[in-house]
Amino acid sequence: GEKVEQHESTLSVREGDSAVINCTYTDTASSYFPWYKQEAGKSLHFVIDIRSNVDRKQSQRLTVLLDKKAKRFSLHITATQPEDSAIYFCAASKGYNKLTFGKGTVLLVSP
Amino acid sequence: AQTIHQWPVAEIKAVGSPLSLGCTIKGKSSPNLYWYWQATGGTLQQLFYSITVGQVESVVQLNLSASRPKDDQFILSTEKLLLSHSGFYLCAWSTGENTLYFGAGTRLSVL
């Protein structure tokens, strides 16, 4: 089955800097790649996603890049703020109903 | 607007006791429903999904079962809890376009 690896377990940045979280996947048939944010002790919230028909998607300070050849996708956060501190999970899916998550990256944004 | 409600918020249960967790979605007819489990500090493991009333698909075997008795309700249960069942249980819904929307979760401690 699909395996998703999240390369950074922890990422520390200063407020205002950029942060990049990288993920790789194994199944070439995967076509949907969402990102979720989990604040301490809370549930997951959808952040942004990208589908395999594009290689870049931006929403305000967030950009997702997809490299299908390398089976790699990444989340870029610009102008980080302390409220961006959370665990970020990437995921991959090749169809409905089965989403495979990475292990999560703890992002710490210090003032 | 759609709302998802999970109950209870938290449970402390003894090994070998039964368990029932619930999830209700309002404002969306015929959603796809999911149960996920997150070990403390861990990634998310999909347990079950359901695309219609009365039909539930199991993704992993963890001595748990799920049922969908109504269009807007999803139940997770077991007759005998194990220590390994401890963790954070998340219910989610989607429209079939892959984006998952999670409930607030139930934190389960098995002692």
Residue A30 has pLDDT above 70, yes or no: yes
Chain B residues whose CB is inside 8 A of the A99 CB are 46, 98, 100
User: Considering only CB atoms, which chain A residues are within 8 Å of B96?
Assistant: 96
Q: Is the pLDDT of residue B111 over 80?
A: yes
Q: Once rounded to an integer, what is the mean pLDDT over residues A67-79?
A: 97
Does A102 contact B at CB distance below 8 Å? yes
Residues 6+ apart with CB under 8 A from B31: B2, B25, B71, B72, B93, B94, B95
Measured between CB atoms, does B98 come within 8 Å of chain A?
yes
Instruction: Say whether A44 and B32 touch across the interface (CB within 8 A).
Output: no
Q: Which of B43, B48, B56 to mutate to test the interface with A (most CBs of A within 10 A)?
A: B43
Average pLDDT over residues B3-30: 95
pLDDT at B61 over 90: no
Is residue B97 pLDDT above 70, yes or no? no
Q: Give the pairing type, strands B10-13 and B106-110.
A: parallel
